[in-house]
Structure 1
Amino acid sequence: MTGSIIPAICSSCSCNSGQAQEYLDDETGNLRELRDLGGLKYSDMETACDNLGLEHDYIEYFMNALAF
């Protein structure tokens, strides 16, 4: 699924892969900040998916990205 997230963002946001990567990095960064502050909720990952125009199936991507 991680390989398909950039094309999915490109499709939903009508952007190129560079912009999609920036959007993804921004959302992941926001989630990391919330995690580090102790305020991360599952709904925050749902919101990140919504902001990127992704199905909630991609929540697993964010969970894995935040595990490191």
Structure 2
Amino acid sequence: MGENIIDLICNSCSCDKTEAQEYLDSELQYLRELQDMDDLRESDIELVCSNLGLDLDYQEYFINRLAGA
């Protein structure tokens, strides 16, 4: 996971860095909303990884972001 997540999203979604950041922010907002409703599941994080074209290894990234790390 040494490569920048934005670069990975750019490559997988064929977009520029601005769009990749918007995609990432949108998916994080979605996860935060689920977390706020106490309805966040592991499958939701897997879906976000899939939506962004990331390996499931990146689940930890999203868990840490949701935890405020």
Normalised by the shorter chain, which TM-score bucket? over 0.9
Q: Quote how far apart the aligned CAs of 1:37 are.
A: 0.1
Aligned residues: 68
Structure 2 gap ranges (5+): none
Any residues of structure 2 matched to 1:50-65 within 5 Å, and which?
50-65=50-65
Cα deviations by residue, 1:21-51 (Å, 9 ceiling, x for unpaired)? 0000000000000000000001100000000
Deviation >4 Å, runs of 4+? none
Query: Closer, same or farther in 2 for the Cα pair 1:13/1:35, shift >3 Å?
Result: same
SS in structure 1 of the partner of residue 4 of structure 2: helix
Instruction: Normalising by structure 2, report the TM-score.
Output: 0.93
Any residues of structure 2 matched to 1:18-37 within 5 Å, and which?
18-37=18-37
Query: Closer, same or farther in 2 for the Cα pair 1:2/1:35, shift >3 Å?
Result: farther
Q: Quote how far apart the aligned CAs of 1:3 are.
A: 5.8
Structure 1 gap ranges (5+): none
Identity %: 56
Instruction: Normalising by structure 1, report the TM-score.
Output: 0.94
Aligned-partner Cα distance in 2 for 1:38–1:51: 22
Maintained 8 Å contact 1:49/1:58: yes
Aligned-partner Cα distance in 2 for 1:36–1:59: 18
More helix by share: 1
